[in-house]
Amino acid sequence: MRERDRRLLKRDADYETVFNRNYPIPLYLVCANLMKLIDREVHADKHALDRKDQTNVRFYAAMYLASLATGKPVPTRDEIAAISLSSITDAMLTESVKRVYELYKNLGASDQVAKGVDLLEQLKSELEREFTSVR
């Protein structure tokens, strides 16, 4: 865990943003399980990602996976909470990591890319195009 991540939840306002009482409880379990699946996938030999890149793409790949699983470019909290883990296929996991890694690599594959806004914006644009075009 990065140092900035450790400090985040020490502030009450930030804690309430993450653990909001109005969020559906299953959301947390689904998100944790999606992260476990993505973590396994980014470590898979087939992707040949080094440790830095694994760390830098994992949350973006989970975002992509949630969109694939819901069929929405910007799924709601309720839609994410309703994801059935049995609907997640190996192909979806592979696609999530590959697509995110391609964007990340094209932007320079650095910590600055992962922490900046360009990767997120490009990923959002790609998801919008993906789900507004006929699949």
Q: Which residue has the higher pLDDT, 94 or 5?
A: 94
Mean pLDDT of 99-109: 97
Half-sphere exposure of 76 (CA within 13 A, CB side): 6
Task: For 124-135, write each residue's pLDDT tens digit.
Answer: 999 999 998 755
For residue 80, pLDDT beyond 60: yes
For residue 12, is pLDDT > 60?
A: yes
For the chain, the DSSP string reads --HHHHHHTTSHHHHHHHS-TTS-HHHHHHHHHHHHHHHHHHTSGGG---HHHHHHHHHHHHHHHHHHHHT-SS--HHHHHT--GGG--HHHHHHHHHHHHHHHHHTTSSHHHHHSSHHHHHHHHHHHHHHHS--
d(CA 9, CA 32): 17
> Residue 1 — very low, low, confident or very high, per pLDDT cuts 50/70/90?
very low
pLDDT band at 17; cut points 50, 70, 90: confident
**Confidence class of residue 18 from pLDDT cuts 50, 70 and 90?**
confident
